[in-house]
Structure 1
Amino acid sequence: MRCVVALNALEELTLQQMSINHRHRDTRARAAGLLMLGRGLKPRAIAAQLGVSGQSVYNWSHAWRARGICGLMGAHNGGRHALLTEAQITVALEIARAEPLSLGGIAQRMQVALNGPLPCKVETLGEALKRNGFSFKRNRYTLKKSATKKHSP
């Protein structure tokens, strides 16, 4: 079966930019593969060069014909699943808005609200809160050096 893709100048420019600048590596590889197909390279050579199977190149060309650029971008399924659900993040946001607490205090209140242990590390909870506009400062437990020097005998 022949795997040929005909690209116009605008499509070629779009795929070229996508192969360089897209944030997902697999989408960059798909765009590069389609550019190579458009230039007349064989699917096996493209697969070897990009480190994928030959069937992947055929799948990319079929997705390009069926859905265009959306067919290339919609197939990204990489990444780890979220440890905190949206409902848990909502609970954490409500706790954080209620009163000023440290991150550890928010985590303790979440454990009480969820009736169980926190499903992630405290740092992960902090990152989720930061994405929603909260920031945390580390509490300082030691005195300043200048204060200890003045009061020493």
Structure 2
Amino acid sequence: MAHICELLQVSDQPVYNWAKSYRTQGLAGILDGHKGGAPRKLSDKLVDAAVQIAQQLHQRYLDAPSFSLERLSVWLKKRGLSYKRGRRSLKKARCQ
């Protein structure tokens, strides 16, 4: 196991997952790719709309400098246009 993990440069968990998928579904279980994780937040339609808006802004303001998405994120946060996920405390409530 250690040799395989070192060779593929992954931890042991993906290798165990691949082995289980192979045992239960055969080769198709490995070739299906990643199935986990959260769903995408933006649909293709929303991404296309955002691209159109960006293109329109670029056409309207030809002298505007280019910028990264990270910088845009900072500017939007400064204007209150961000979402901060509420986190639950990991501390257990004291029993009294």
The TM-score bracket by the shorter chain reads 0.3 to 0.5
TM-score of the superposition, structure 2-length normalised?
Answer: 0.38
The TM-score normalised by the length of structure 1 is: 0.26
The structure that is helix-richer by fraction is 1
- Give the number of the structure with larger relative contact order, counting CA–CA contacts within 8 Å between residues 6 or more apart: 1
